[in-house]
Amino acid sequence: MLDFFKQLSLKRSAWIFLAFTAFALESTALYFQYGMGLQPCVLCVYERLAVVGLFIAGLTGALAPNSLIIRILALIVGLFSAIKGLIISIRHLDLQMNPAPWKQCEFIPNFPETLPFHKWLPAVFNPTGSCNESQWSLFGITMVQWLVFIFVVYVIVLGLITLSQVKKSRNRRLIFK
């Protein structure tokens, strides 16, 4: 099984697929905001930033998938983004499922002063909603629950690909290609 994931990490198409799925998620979030009028909260903005990290990881890996250094760099960025997105979405889910006056999210994003994403790209990273409200669901599953599932899938796949990097590839002699 690890051999499959090692071979997958050597293909440019796999990294492009990672970038494509992240781009699709980001586009969907912007459609929800501007097309359907849903208001993103601070945690939604943080989750969007984690998806942007997955997109950057996909593009980085697609640059040179045969280079171990580039692959490891892309996996570090991708796995960090997926884990961070999972942690944030679990916290977001907790706020929605167990609302309480003492459990609130902030109104202004807490980005570093050197990276004020909400000032650079306010159309994407400026929160206007509340973390406690669930504004959308599909098949009875809220958006935040879908995000937890999506980030779990990213963590599992990227974790297996990361583990597969220590496995040596078999040199197979192929008479016919």
d(CA 149, CA 126): 24
Selected catalytic residue, list 12, 105, 170, 173? 105
Q: Is 172 a catalytic residue?
A: no
Selected catalytic residue, list 12, 71, 91, 131? 131
Selected catalytic residue, list 41, 71, 172, 173? 41
Selected catalytic residue, list 48, 71, 170, 173? 48
Q: Is 131 a catalytic residue?
A: yes
Give the position of tokens 């959308």.
136
Contacts of 85 (CB under 8 A, 6+ apart): 47, 50, 51, 53, 54, 147, 151, 154
- CA dihedral of residues 154, 112, 71, 14 (deg, nearest 10): 40
Q: Which residues are catalytic?
A: 41, 44, 48, 105, 131
